[in-house]
Amino acid sequence: MSLVTRCPVCATAFRVQRAQLAARGGRVRCGKCGGVFDGVAGLVEEGESRLSLEPSPQLGLFDPSREPPPAVATGEPLPAFLEPPPRRRPSWAWAFIALLGFVALLAQAGYRYRAEVLTYLPDVRPVLEAGCEWLGCQVLPRRLVLMSIDGDELRVDPGRPGVILLTATIRNTAPFPQQYPSLQLFLEDEGGRPVAGRVLSPRDYLDGGRTPTQVADGIAPRAEAPVRVHLASNDLPATRYRLVLFYPS
């Protein structure tokens, strides 16, 4: 059975089904003025004086997807549930946090790709050095996979009795400068057992003509560094050796 409800704004009466009133707590929209009202509170009885009923212009439940109607003609404000939410303006605090995050991201990228940065922007090295001094890191990268030892040889020095001579070439195959690595020399007997060993720093195996600044500059991209070290033989029962590149922690 249909009921009759009256819009409190324009006083237009409409027929409405019970299911329509029950679906949204009785909230309905007037098909004539567009106002949203309580359809249950607006129910009227059809008395002897016939009501002038408008044809149902799709009188239905309030649809949130529809645009809210304008303020009613009496000047009353829109119901709270019809008012659009206020726009939120970003605060200075959020903008500052976003800026800090962006700076941190740049710093992380600069640290991770510092080798590439040095290759294309060598003038920024003082900035990277200052940052690494604060972070306790190395400016020049340490990528041993792009390092190799070529032409290494360990032999008796003919001009110096009791002295053996180690010669080799360290090659940097990277397209960027790298820090000089250290060398680990293992002396082994015929059974492969170690009988002696020694760690050689860059200052130990590089030419004496290189200054500390040149050593700190590292091996240039796709360049070589000669190794030449004199060692005391001490009549050790060593018949072979191994030479390993490494970076101290």
Domain count, the chain: 3
Instruction: Looking at the structure, tell me whether residues 220 and 151 fall in a common domain.
Output: yes
pLDDT of 187 strictly over 70: yes
pLDDT of 8 strictly over 90: no
Instruction: Looking at the structure, tell me whether residues 186 and 238 fall in a common domain.
Output: yes
pLDDT tens profile 14-63: 777 777 777 777 788 887 888 888 877 878 876 544 555 555 544 444 44
DSSP 3-state of 184:
strand
Instruction: Looking at the structure, tell me whether residues 186 and 217 fall in a common domain.
Output: yes
Instruction: Looking at the structure, tell me whether residues 221 and 169 fall in a common domain.
Output: yes
Tell me the torsion sign for CA atoms 126, 145, 198, 185.
Answer: negative
- Cα–Cα distance measured from residue 106 to residue 186, given in angstroms and rounded to the nearest whole number: 43
Residue for token pair 């060993």 = 197
Instruction: Looking at the structure, tell me whether residues 98 and 79 fall in a common domain.
Output: no
pTM recorded for the entire structure: 0.48
pLDDT at 57: 46
pLDDT at 81: 46
List of E strands, the chain: 2-6, 13-17, 27-29, 36-38, 43-44, 147-156, 163-172, 182-188, 194-200, 224-232, 240-246
One DSSP character per residue, 27-44 reads EEE-TTT--EEETTTTEE
Instruction: Looking at the structure, tell me whether residues 105 and 172 fall in a common domain.
Output: no
pLDDT at 56: 52
pLDDT tens profile 151-182: 999 888 887 888 888 899 999 998 888 889 99
Q: Residue 149 belongs to what H/E stretch?
A: strand 147-156
Instruction: Looking at the structure, tell me whether residues 62 and 100 fall in a common domain.
Output: no
Q: Which domain holds residue 77?
A: 1-84
